[in-house]
Amino acid sequence: MNSAPLKLPEMRWLRPSRLTLGLDRHQRLDVAAHTRAHPPLPRTDRAGLLALAEAVGLSGRGGAGFPFARKARAALATADRTGTAPVIVVNGAEGEPASAKDKMLLARVPHLVLDGASLAAAAFGASEIVIGVASGSPGETSVPAALAERALPCPARTVSLPERFVSGESGALIRGINGLPVTPAPLKARAADGAAGGVRRRPTLLSNVETWAQLALAARLGPEAYASVGTAAEPGTTLLTVNRPGTDALVVEVPIGTRLGPVLDACGLRPGAGVLVGGYHGAWLRPSDAIDAPLSRAGLSALGGTLGAGAIVALPDDTCPLGETARVAAWLAAESTGQCGPCKRGLPAAAEALAMLAAGAAEPAVLEDARCALGAAQAGGACSHPDGVARFLLTALDVFSEDVDAHLSSPGCGRPVHGVLPLPPSKGARLEVDWSRCAGHGLCAVLAPDLIRLGPHGYPASATVPVAPWQEHGALRAVNQCPALAVRLRRRA
């Protein structure tokens, strides 16, 4: 597979190269190239692996940053109590449009990821390894090929999941592995508890792709060498996806604690109007804060940010920040599963308010309503989706406050929306308003309140609204009962 072209971001690294070792010479490291790049994987027992993870402070690299050792101990406690072998799950269902690091790892260095998973499987006596990948991603071919090239301590399989934002949520991933709809569980349950929320009712240790690769590096290097870069509290390196307007993103490996300014410089970028850190569940930073922001969880948290999945977008000065934010807000609202109040009511209402604000059609009261809805969404959802979206939108309103004022007092800031924040191609359904027919009856907003919000003059605030699958019933009611036949539902493949 070394010669097979892979549509993946360009790689860069600020020394040292660890996760990216060998990628300056190979497009993909098969088992032979992997063996030449990395020394043999040392064997370790259960206590030794837990001690290693604690010594290097290994935490999840998918967004939440939960300590790996604590998660492993919880799964092992259930396994000991029930006499059931645990399951190892590699979460590669990367549905974040601004992030490509996990796809890169699975496609180009799959054996490094499998090393970490097999190390844990052997030490913890696992019954199975399951690797979740996004449907249509390079990992669908790269991972099975890697599994065929090597021996593992237990059976392993790959499961393809829909490339949706919520597919990478741990409960949604496990439901997908179990053959259920890939949606967050209606009731929160820990994968470590087994019967409540694990794979085939077994205690499950689930971690992100990069986390497993980092575990393999730590085992080879040992705690002291592993901690030779990074910070005292967060040793090692991390992967970032740096998005660049008008061209492909870069996946960059940097020591944890590196300042954001030099990373942007290395990628040919400037902070512009503001910098998004952590992707669409992350937070916006002002340009003055972004330059010296340390790329660590603690460092970004002190600035009101979050490292999250490591996705970074620097917003140029020539695009409308609120228009960019409104595009993503509408997409994030449609990506929810509508299982709880914040996703069913709060996020669509906030997205509609942002659309009105971007269009210069919002009153201050509308903006305050959106802030209240987002505040209520934080920590109130069935999963972390509402909380992450609220952080993304509330920090945008704060960082771009001057633009908010301009859009409230005039038709807008005068800048176009260039679509700098990456989104996947439009799919699914959209509700469209035909302005030549609309008479402002307002019935559509009564029948589909999750989708349509009326502007100050009684007309729908947006001409097109994304429709999530759980919203289609309300959308059809609005279409069928519109007195002026002004509302249409368009479906896209």
For residue 410, report the phi and psi dihedrals to the nearest 5 degrees. Answer: -155, 175
Q: What is the pLDDT of residue 6?
A: 53
**Does 336 fall in a domain?**
yes
Output 469 or 244, whichever has higher pLDDT.
244
CB 373 within 8 A of CB 158: no
Q: What is the pLDDT of residues 164-176, one digit of tens each?
A: 888 888 999 999 9
- In Å, how far are 207, 342, 377, 410 from 386, measured between CA atoms? 21, 6, 6, 30
Do 249 and 184 share a domain, yes or no? no
Q: How many domains are contained in the chain?
A: 4
| pLDDT attached to residue 345 | 81
What's the DSSP call for residue 344? I
Q: Cα(384)–Cα(55) distance, rounded to whole angstroms?
A: 28
Pair 125, 167 in one domain: yes
Q: Give yes or no: residues 358 and 452 share one domain.
A: no
Which single residue is written with the structure tokens 């027992």?
Answer: 45
Residue 72: give its domain's CATH number: 3.40.50.11540
State percent of the chain over pLDDT 90. 67
> Which residue bears the tokens 């009712």?
201
Task: Look over the chain and give the mean of its residue pLDDT values, rounded to a whole number.
Answer: 91
Per-residue confidence (pLDDT) for residue 3, from 0 to 100: 42
Average pLDDT over residues 256-285: 96
| Residue scoring higher pLDDT (97 or 469) | 97
Quick one: pLDDT at residue 4? Answer: 45
Per-residue model confidence as pLDDT tens digits over 217-240: 999 999 999 999 999 999 999 999
Give the burial class of 379: count Cβ atoms within 10 A of its Cβ; 0-12 exposed, 13-18 middle, 19 or more buried.
exposed
Q: Which domain holds residue 419?
A: 323-424
Claim to verify: residue 243 and residue 221 sit in the same structural domain:
no
| CATH number, domain containing residue 286 | 3.10.20.600
pLDDT at 1 over 60: no
Residue 79 belongs to a domain: yes
Q: Please tell me the least confidently modeled range out of 152-161, 283-292, 338-347, 391-400.
A: 338-347
Indicate whether 8 belongs to any domain.
no
pTM, to two decimals: 0.90
Same domain, 173 and 220: yes
Q: Is 95 or 117 the better-scoring residue by pLDDT?
A: 117
Q: Lowest-pLDDT range, 220-234, 308-322, 436-450?
A: 436-450
